[in-house]
């Protein structure tokens, strides 16, 4: 009896409050784990400096975030998707099919991708070609395509230390992997001239590119599906390892990691901003324009994010490792005018 | 193994052995028993060692989260920076961002270091400015906006120091690691040492870890489990209010009233199956049913609680049925014999006797739900949440985090100080679980009846 009564009370409470639940008053954000630290810094400052509540920021990856973003319009869908890559055409189509037609694209800056080994290890001076020759499944030796058998870095390039090849690269679910493949492995493939040999052999540029970017599977290249913290833990347990990190992660762990130069350039916010350091990518967030005016503070948040005080070269985001966008003024204008992406 | 029946021979033969002298077979049997006891003791030993290693690694890693370093300095609240118009108008003053308050604090720290007479070679201005946490400027801003008359005065503040310096006093950061670290320097640590000797820098117990919300990657020293504890508590409330009545009512019906036929068999098998379904499946169900279909908000404890209710129901039903089964039939027969109705016999006699078992099962189910992360991932509770949810029932619809989620989040952060925070959150979670299990044991000991 008692329990039945309790159930009834509980159910009625739930039902009552469900109807009483008013409009959502905080912004919901989902998406890339690379953008997450920047988004939390901005969200925190936004909550502190305005009368709006602190936005809720979820992580889970760019693709997962954009999928949630494109689920539709309404209070129980997210307002902003963070992404470490540009939105794909297929995603824009999915969005449009679900009614999300007006999307504002906001580029917040650039993220550098760095290569680092344990601080006790030797110094590395890489070129993209070294990475291609060390990690690609097939390489070109004396004009012939052969299986990659390099075991030490100095076999790849005599200038590199004699250390077994062991690379911790981001797994395929990460946006970082795409950048790594394109800007390092593929660039190295072209730089070393292997691309031409592949293309001549396969007769197709696309197939040659694919061959370039296929990494060896004999244990020298290890996919890390977790976060950078996992890569760091792997390097700490095996000092021969070299990992792929985001610049901001490295800058927070300089006591444990030693960064390698790429084509003679040391990665830093300055060298990435000037374009000297080759491996970087833009970071974005996408705003659902249809929610502006419905969700309080949404436009203010977007404006706050790209304001000079935060996203500028002297702001807290740059301090944390974001490379400020030289065209920030244009982005600010686009946000103020609520310029949507053209279809 | 070896106790085959003795062959029955006709006449009683003269005893070949005596009870006093162990023969080979007895010795073998005794040895087998001794070995088995050793295996058992070994198993216990391994389990205990694993437990000790786990607990000691968590406690040594997380104890630091409960202590934090603070700096007390006088801060001159410069009117020109904080109230540029000079009219103490709150609206205009709130346009001054925390970044400006940070500069005011920087100047205050520089002044304090200069007046303290500490001299350290090659001490950079950045080292002094980075001494205090970024959280401090937010606190200062709140304080000034609450009392605008403070502008122009000099106030004493007690602020958090940077996570690296705090880590130095806890042994996480050393002079060697600081030399290689771009976020601190040996000079900064020497300055911190000198300030500590003067007594303005103290490491003390940190209530803020329990009460503060999460903080961004730049200020690990300010992060706390407040929102997570509240979120977990709200979810447990929902589970308790829904799973216990539904679970107990279902098991009483199934055990005492339901006819034994094919349908109840099917239900029984399904309940057992549900208990073994991976928790992430309930998360997918929760997303589809509660958020997409019923339109409940994301990241809300109500949805988390509903999902965990579904997850805990089978556990509660199974343990409640076991407790009801354990009540001897003679109790029911006696009640029915003196003229009680079926319902009276159940509610007056069987249920009170089964209560300790039901409570134990419920608490163990709740403890299991408390530690669950996977289903919360899909309903948006694995998130950065800084706003405290309101009081229930409205608060059940506000975004919140949960304790295991907080642990998961912090282990992914770049700053090493968050690893300490994660271990600290595990300690808080373990204390909660320990208390719940203790309560379960107490209830069982106190009220259990044996026949």
- Whole-angstrom CA distances from A190 to A58, A130, A132, A181, A337 are 38, 12, 9, 12, 42
CB contact under 8 A, A48 and B138: yes
Nearest chain A CA: its distance from B333 CA (Å): 22
- DSSP class of residue B64 equals G
Residue B16 in this model has a pLDDT that exceeds 80:
no
Over residues B116-128, the pLDDT tens digits come to 888 887 888 888 8
Q: Which residues of chain A have pLDDT under 50?
A: 1-6, 12-13, 15-21
Do B269 and B407 belong to one domain?
yes
Q: Distance between CA A145 and CA A214 in Å, rounded?
A: 14
Report the alpha-carbon distance of residue A195 to residue A197 in Å, rounded: 5
**Helix H or strand E encompassing B281:** helix B279-286
Q: What is the mean pLDDT of residues B210-237?
A: 92
A220 burial class (0-12, 13-18, 19+ CB within 10 angstroms)? middle
Considering the domain architecture, whether residues B162 and B253 belong to the same structural domain is answered as no
What CA–CA distance (Å, rounded) separates B332 from B345? 6
Q: Which domain-ending residue is among B155, B175, B206?
A: B206
| Residue range B18-71, pLDDT digits in tens | 777 888 888 999 999 999 999 999 999 999 999 999 999 999 988 888 999 999
Which H or E element spans position B70?
strand B67-76
Task: State whether B137 and B171 are in the same domain.
Answer: yes
Structure tokens at A104: 């504002």
Structure token digits, residue B352: 């009170």
What's the confidence (pLDDT) of residue B451?
60
- The per-residue pLDDT for B262 is 92
Higher pLDDT pick, B159 / A8: B159
B344 interface with A at CB cutoff 8 Å = no
Mutation for testing the A interface, residue in B412, B415, B422 having most A CBs under 10 Å: B412
Residue B10 lies in a domain: no
Task: Look up residue B2 and give its two tokens.
Answer: 């070896």
Band of pLDDT at residue B403, cut at 50, 70 and 90: very high
What pLDDT does residue A17 have?
Answer: 47
Same-domain status, B258 and B197: no
Residue numbers of the domain that contains B249: 226-447
Asked if the structure places residue B53 within a domain, the reply is no
Residue A31 host element (H or E):
strand A28-31
Mean pLDDT over B421-433 rounds to 93
Give the tokens for residue B57.
């690694």
Comparing A194-208, B150-164, B190-204, B262-276, the range with the smallest average pLDDT is: A194-208
Can you give the pLDDT at residue A2?
47
Q: What is the pLDDT of residue B303?
A: 93
The whole-angstrom separation of Cα A180 and Cα A184 is 5
Distance from C-alpha of B334 to C-alpha of B313, rounded to nearest angstrom: 31
Q: Is B33 on the interface with A (CB under 8 A)?
A: no
Q: Using an 8 Å Cβ cutoff, are A58 and B287 in contact?
A: no
Number of domains in chain B: 2
In a domain, B349, yes or no: yes
> Given a cut of 70, is residue B10 above it in pLDDT?
no
The string of pLDDT tens digits covering residues A182-236 is 889 998 888 888 888 888 888 788 888 888 888 888 888 898 888 888 899 999 9
Please name the residues between 224 and 253 in chain B that touch chain A, using a CB distance below 8 Å: 238, 241-242, 244-246, 248-249
- What chain A holds in terms of domains, given with CATH numbers, is 24-110+282-336 (3.40.190.10), 112-280 (3.40.190.10)
Of A4, A30, A44, the CB nearest to B249: A4
Domain boundary among B206, B241, B268: B206
Task: Say whether both B197 and B279 belong to one domain.
Answer: no
Determine whether the interchain pair B216/A37 forms a contact, defined as Cβ–Cβ distance below 8 Å.
yes
Shared domain for B344 and B436, answered yes or no, is: yes
Q: Measured between beta carbons, which residues in chain B are less than 8 angstroms from residue A18?
A: 294, 296, 302
Q: Identify whether residues B190 and B254 lie together within a single domain.
A: no
Judge whether B29 lies within some domain.
no
Smallest CA–CA distance from B145 into chain A, residue: A49
pTM equals 0.85
Tallying the residues shown for chain A, one arrives at: 343
Q: Report if residue B399 sits inside a domain.
A: yes
The reply to whether residue A10 touches residue B412, judged by beta carbons under 8 angstroms, is no
In a domain, B142, yes or no: yes
- Same domain for B233 and B349, yes or no, is yes
Mean pLDDT for the stretch of residues B301-320: 93
In this structure, of A123-137, B42-56, B73-87, B185-199, the range with the lowest mean pLDDT score is B73-87
Residues B412 and B271 in one domain: yes
Q: What is the pLDDT of residue B14?
A: 63
For residue B15, the model assigns a pLDDT of: 63
Q: Residue B392 carries which DSSP code?
A: T
Q: Which residues of chain B does A33 touch, with a Cβ-Cβ cutoff of 8 Å? A: 412
pLDDT for the residue numbered A343: 60
Token digits for B397?
């619809």
Q: Which residues contact B193 (CB under 8 A, 6 or more apart)?
A: none
Q: What is the pLDDT of residue A28?
A: 92
Residue pointed to by tokens 């303290």: B116
CB-based contact B363:B436 (threshold 8 Å): yes
What pLDDT is attached to residue A191?
86
CA angle A295, A36, B396 (to 5 degrees): 50
Identify whether B124 is part of a domain: yes
Same-domain check for residues B262 and B310: yes
Inter-CA distances, A15 with A21, A250, B75, B230, Å: 10, 49, 51, 22
DSSP state of B379: T
Q: In sequence order, which residues have a C-beta less than 8 Å from that of residue A265 and are 6 or more positions away? A: A271, A276, A277, A278
What's the CATH code of the domain at B308?
Answer: 1.10.3720.10
Structure tokens at B77: 């609240």
Is B17 a domain residue? no
**Listed residues B149, B172, B206: the one ending a domain:** B206
Q: Is residue B142 pLDDT above 80, yes or no?
A: yes
Instruction: Say if B292 is an interface residue toward chain A (CB within 8 Å).
Output: yes
Residues B297, B358, single domain; the answer is yes
Q: What angle do CA A37, A38, A43 make, to 5 degrees?
A: 100
Indicate if B262 and B400 belong to the same structural domain. Answer: yes
Q: How far is B215 from chain A (nearest CA, A)?
A: 7
């Amino acid at each position: 009896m008692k329990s039945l009564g309790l159930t009834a009370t509980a159910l009625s409470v739930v039902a009552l409050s469900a109807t009483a639940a008013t409009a959502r008053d905080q912004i919901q954000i989902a998406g890339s784990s690379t953008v997450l630290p920047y988004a939390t810094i901005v969200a925190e400052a936004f909550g502190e400096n305005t009368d709006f509540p602190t936005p809720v920021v979820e992580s889970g990856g760019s693709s997962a975030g954009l999928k949630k973003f494109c689920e539709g319009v309404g209070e129980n869908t997210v307002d902003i998707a963070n992404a470490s890559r540009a939105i794909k055409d297929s995603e824009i189509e999915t969005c449009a099919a679900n009614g999300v037609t007006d999307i504002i694209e906001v580029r917040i800056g650039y993220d550098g991708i760095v290569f680092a080994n344990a601080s006790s290890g030797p110094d590395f001076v890489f070129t993209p070609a070294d990475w291609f020759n060390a990690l690609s499944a097939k390489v070109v030796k004396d004009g012939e395509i052969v299986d990659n058998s390099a075991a030490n870095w100095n076999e790849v390039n005599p200038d590199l230390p004699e250390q077994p090849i062991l690379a911790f690269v981001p797994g395929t679910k990460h946006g970082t992997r795409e950048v790594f493949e394109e800007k390092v492995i593929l660039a190295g493939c072209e730089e070393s001239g292997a691309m031409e040999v592949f293309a001549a052999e396969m007769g197709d540029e696309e197939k040659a590119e694919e061959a370039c970017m296929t990494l060896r599977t004999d244990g020298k290249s290890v996919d890390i599906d977790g976060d950078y913290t996992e890569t760091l833990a792997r390097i700490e347990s095996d000092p021969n390892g070299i990992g792929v990190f985001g610049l901001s992660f490295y800058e927070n762990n300089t006591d444990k990691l030693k960064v390698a130069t790429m084509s003679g350039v040391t990665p830093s916010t300055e060298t990435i901003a000037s374009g000297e350091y080759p491996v970087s990518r833009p970071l974005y967030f996408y705003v659902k324009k249809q929610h502006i005016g419905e969700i309080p503070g949404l436009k203010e948040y977007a404006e706050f994010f790209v304001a000079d005080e935060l996203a500028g070269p002297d702001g807290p985001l740059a301090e944390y490792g974001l490379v400020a966008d030289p065209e920030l003024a244009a982005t600010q204008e686009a946000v103020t005018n609520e310029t949507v992406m053209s279809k | 193994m070896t106790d085959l029946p003795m062959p029955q021979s006709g006449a009683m033969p003269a005893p070949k052995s005596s009870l006093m002298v162990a023969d080979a077979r007895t010795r073998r049997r005794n040895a087998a028993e001794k070995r088995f006891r050793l295996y058992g003791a070994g198993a216990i030993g391994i389990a205990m060692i694993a437990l000790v290693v786990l607990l000691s690694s968590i406690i040594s890693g997380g104890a630091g989260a409960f202590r934090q370093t603070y700096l007390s300095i006088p801060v001159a609240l410069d009117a020109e920076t904080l109230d540029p118009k000079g009219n103490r108008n709150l609206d205009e003053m709130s346009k001054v961002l925390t970044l400006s308050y940070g500069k005011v604090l920087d100047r205050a720290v520089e002044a304090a270091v200069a007046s303290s007479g500490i001299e350290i070679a090659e001490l950079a201005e950045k080292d002094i400015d980075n001494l205090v946490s970024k959280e401090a400027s937010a606190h200062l801003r709140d304080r000034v906006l609450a009392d605008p008359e403070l502008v122009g005065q000099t106030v004493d503040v007690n602020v958090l120091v940077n996570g690296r310096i705090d880590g130095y006093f806890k042994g996480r950061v050393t002079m060697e690691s600081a030399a290689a670290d771009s976020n601190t320097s040996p000079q900064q640590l020497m300055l911190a040492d000198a300030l500590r000797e003067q007594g303005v820098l103290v490491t003390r117990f940190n209530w803020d870890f329990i009460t503060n919300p999460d903080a961004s990657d730049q200020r690990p020293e300010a992060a706390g489990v407040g929102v997570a504890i509240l979120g977990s508590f709200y979810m447990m409330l929902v589970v308790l209010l829904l799973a216990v009545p539904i679970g107990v009512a279902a098991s009483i019906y199934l055990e005492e009233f339901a006819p034994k036929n094919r349908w109840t068999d099917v239900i029984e098998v399904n309940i057992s199956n549900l208990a073994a379904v991976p928790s992430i499946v309930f998360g997918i169900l929760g997303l589809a049913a509660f958020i997409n279909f019923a339109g409940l908000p994301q990241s809300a404890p109500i949805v988390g609680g509903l999902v965990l209710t579904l997850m805990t129901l089978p556990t509660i039903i199974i343990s409640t049925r076991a407790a009801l089964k354990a009540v001897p039939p003679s109790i029911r027969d006696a009640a029915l014999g003196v003229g009680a109705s079926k319902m009276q016999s159940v509610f007056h006699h069987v249920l009170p006797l089964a209560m300790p078992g039901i409570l134990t099962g419920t608490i163990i189910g709740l403890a299991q739900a408390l530690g669950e992360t996977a289903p919360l991932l899909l309903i948006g509770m694995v998130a950065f949440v800084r706003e405290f949810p309101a009081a229930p029932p409205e608060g059940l619809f506000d975004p919140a985090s949960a304790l295991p989620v907080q642990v998961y989040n912090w282990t992914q952060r770049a700053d090493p100080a968050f690893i300490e925070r994660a271990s600290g959150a595990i300690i808080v979670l373990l204390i909660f679980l320990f208390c719940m299990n203790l309560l379960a044991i107490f209830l069982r000991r106190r009220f259990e009846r044996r026949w």
